[in-house]
Structure 1
Amino acid sequence: MKKELSAIDAKYEAQKIAFGPMYFQAVIALRDLGILEYISKHRKGVEIDAIVANLDVTEYGVNLLIEAAEILGVLEIEDEKVKITKTGFFLLKDEMTRVNVNFMNDVCYLGAKAMTESIKNSKPEGLKTLGDWPTIYQGLSILPEPAKTAWFEFDHYYSDNAFPDALKIVFEKKPGLIFDVGGNTGKWSFACCDYDPEVRIKILDLPVQINVAKGNAAERGLLERIDFHEIDLLDSSQKIPKGADVIWMSQFLDCFSKEQIVQILKNAWQAASTETTLYILEPFFDNQNYPAAHYSLVATSLYFTIMANGNSKMYRIGTMKELVRLAGFEVVETYPLIGDSYHTILECKKVP
């Protein structure tokens, strides 16, 4: 049974929420000013005077940020020396944390104030802080920096770790032609080409993303093995072509509402034969081993609301399986948390 908070503790938790944005930006300043890195190099601690003397930051600024970091448990002061804590170490050195912090700061932070309007209007009202597009997907290749780098690092971090085990699963049946639906920059397609020198790929995506993927494929000399098909899957008149041995959707369906997912999967159903295998790779938030992953994935749903398209989210595994069923497929195999990743693969077959 969950322990009931006292009124004093509950009030403290409420203040964490109230001042959360300020504390977040204090950590950003600690990092960007080099204070956190400098302190981390002194395992036995360092005096504040030494920090001021060695960095281009005033004593006022150093004290201000250290006091905030001490509240957060990022730094601690002992015998008048400042030391980095385990939490501070993860903020500085952990890749997942670095990617998440940059994504929140560079992509989502300014737009987050539009949360209420985004939910009311079912539109990503915060996206205006980055550009004038109906959804973020039309603008991915031309996002302003540092948002562009932060977005792609975030996207790739939460997919690339799954690729080695995903490739083994997909190629167990030796497919000749794979449709990479929502292929983005082409990273999965290129990994497939590296894994099997005989496989052919067709990337299906919006025109702006196809241009990026085609340029990346050209750099790798893969244009003879990879074809490209421009498609807007929210337009029901545009059909996925037939002929694939495998239809692959990697971190793609979470970009859509439940109704849109069913529409897209029905499009895949009309393109599939009874021999076609549909693979869905997703990080389902209720199917994680660690609370940090669950916490991060639920926060990602809020990004979809304010910045991406206003109506999509990270899903529960049971919800996705039900949407698959509604579209005319059945899940014939579930591969949970493959490799060193947060992802599950649903292997699906068309129900005639």
Structure 2
Amino acid sequence: MIDFYKKEHLSAMQAKHMAQVIAHGPIVFQVARVLRDKNILSVIDAAHKEGIVLTAICEKTGVPEYGARVLLEAALGMQLVKYTDDEKFVLTKTGYFILHDPLTNVNMSFVQDICYKGMFHLEESVNTGKPEGLKELGNWNTVYEGLSQLNPRQQKSWFEYDHFFSDIAFPLVLKHIYKPENHIKRLLEIGGNTGKWALASTAFDRDVHITIMDLPGQADMAKENIEKLGLSDRVDFYPANVLEASVVFPTGYDGVWMSQFLDCFSEDEIVSILQRCGQALNADGSVYILEAFWDNQRFETSAFCIQQLSIYFTAIANGNSQMYDSRVFKKCIAKAGFEIVEEISGIGLSHTLLKCKKKS
């Protein structure tokens, strides 16, 4: 992707139009979201190529005519809808993706429920290095401390966003982690969230034992899910805050697994966590890291989504982390005393798997 960003891709006229879209960004987002959530796009979609008139849209959705009219006129400029020859509304390709594309819907709900209000404080966060927008969600130092306390809608949007990418990647990466030559019988998972990786692991490999190390609130959520499935004998828990440098990691593991976890920390924090991971490993153990690096993407859209997610970390999550350029991330691995012995890119939508060993 690096070469892509060394070129201009828009004409002057296209660039000026893009500038106006950006200038109206909050309005554009909310128009699209309301059209989706009020089922206006669904009603237009159901009319197919024949189209549907404004009054009929209002009758089917219950949205007042004035409100529907201003939303749809804005949507014409946004190219979410278009007119037929007799000026009925039909859905465009972009409107179709706003309505039906799972990635778009997960992103939109995450931005609305987690990011939108907090982004007003972005400039302050850039200046202070603290998640100044987090106060719009709750009174915590980082968003991770408050995940178990978010309201149900916010929790749904956060976890659906987080799991959307891992749910696609996990089935593809399990075979790499648990191949026989890795000899993994005891695995330390750092950042277990709701226990999805532990559940996938125990189903894939009947002999593996997992320890989930996470903040107490997240560990409790994962424990509840594990106990419901009767897997307590194969999954245990180590509640701790890995940001505290004094926290000692448990020992005796064949591998340490971190999925979409280290991007939640600054470069210095990544180095500290990795150094303590080394203490948790047996002599021939490895650290396995699953991350989405924006510079490793095949498609512009993937890179764009990952780059924008960094701003969530700046303003909301913790104020000092991001979705990393792989070159920056690999410097942290080396500084922590590890070397990358295997790298597999193109996993799922956007992920890269790194297998790391302690330098001899």
Normalising by the smaller structure, the TM-score range is over 0.9
- Give runs of aligned pairs for residues 233-312 of structure 1, distance below 5 A: 233-312=242-321
In structure 1, distance between residues paired with 2:114 and 2:297: 25
Specify which of 10, 19, 39 is matched with residue 14 of structure 1: 19
Q: Which residue of 2 aligns with 1:184?
A: 193
Name the aligned partner's letter for residue 297 of structure 1: I
Q: Does 1:102 align with 2:109?
A: yes
In structure 2, distance between residues paired with 1:4 and 1:201: 50
Q: Does 1:141 align with 2:140?
A: no
Cα deviation code 1:20-76 (max 9, x no counterpart): 101110111111111000001111211222212322112211111111111111111
Measured at CA, do residues 90 and 4 of structure 1 come closer, stay the same or move farther in structure 2, by a change above 3 Å?
Answer: closer
How many residues in Structure 1 have an aligned counterpart in Structure 2?
Answer: 350
What is the CA-CA distance between 1:109 and the residue it aligns to? 0.3
Name the aligned partner's letter for residue 119 of structure 2: A
Q: Which residue of 2 aligns with 1:170?
A: 177
In structure 1, distance between residues paired with 2:177 and 2:353: 10
Name the aligned partner's letter for residue 22 of structure 1: I
Q: Does 1:128 align with 2:135?
A: yes
Name the aligned partner's letter for residue 144 of structure 1: N
In structure 2, distance between residues paired with 1:53 and 1:272: 64
Name the aligned partner's letter for residue 249 of structure 1: M
Q: Which residue of 2 aligns with 1:349?
A: 357
For the 8 Å contact 1:272–1:350, the answer to whether it is kept is no
In structure 2, distance between residues paired with 1:40 and 1:185: 36
Q: Does 1:65 align with 2:71?
A: yes
Q: Which residue of 2 aligns with 1:29?
A: 34
In structure 2, distance between residues paired with 1:235 and 1:57: 51
Specify which of 20, 30, 54 is matched with residue 48 of structure 1: 54
In structure 2, distance between residues paired with 1:308 and 1:96: 21
Cα deviation code 1:112-131 (max 9, x no counterpart): 10001111111111111111
Measured at CA, do residues 193 and 4 of structure 1 come closer, stay the same or move farther in structure 2, by a change above 3 Å?
Answer: closer
For the 8 Å contact 2:286–2:356, the answer to whether it is kept is yes
In structure 2, distance between residues paired with 1:351 and 1:192: 27
Cα deviation code 1:211-254 (max 9, x no counterpart): 11111111111111111111211111111121111100100000
Specify which of 231, 238, 241 is matched with residue 232 of structure 1: 241
SS at match of 1:300: helix
In structure 2, distance between residues paired with 1:9 and 1:198: 57
Structure 1's unaligned 5+ residue stretches are: none
Specify which of 216, 225, 228 is matched with residue 219 of structure 1: 228
For the 8 Å contact 1:274–1:350, the answer to whether it is kept is no
- Taking every aligned residue pair, what percent have the same amino acid on both sides? 44
Q: Which residue of 2 aligns with 1:195?
A: 204
| Higher deviation after alignment, 177-186 or 44-53 | 44-53
What is the CA-CA distance between 1:3 and the residue it aligns to? 5.6
Name the aligned partner's letter for residue 96 of structure 1: L
Specify which of 38, 45, 56 is matched with residue 43 of structure 2: 38
What is the CA-CA distance between 1:13 and the residue it aligns to? 2.7
Measured at CA, do residues 226 and 118 of structure 1 come closer, stay the same or move farther in structure 2, by a change above 3 Å?
Answer: same
In structure 2, distance between residues paired with 1:216 and 1:162: 20
SS at match of 1:245: strand
Measured at CA, do residues 138 and 223 of structure 1 come closer, stay the same or move farther in structure 2, by a change above 3 Å?
Answer: same
State the TM-score, normalized to the length of structure 2.
Answer: 0.94
In structure 2, distance between residues paired with 1:131 and 1:185: 21
Name the aligned partner's letter for residue 241 of structure 1: P
Name the aligned partner's letter for residue 289 of structure 1: R
For the 8 Å contact 2:183–2:254, the answer to whether it is kept is no
Q: Which residue of 1 aligns with 2:4?
A: none
Cα deviation code 1:126-169 (max 9, x no counterpart): 11111111100001011123211100000001211110111000
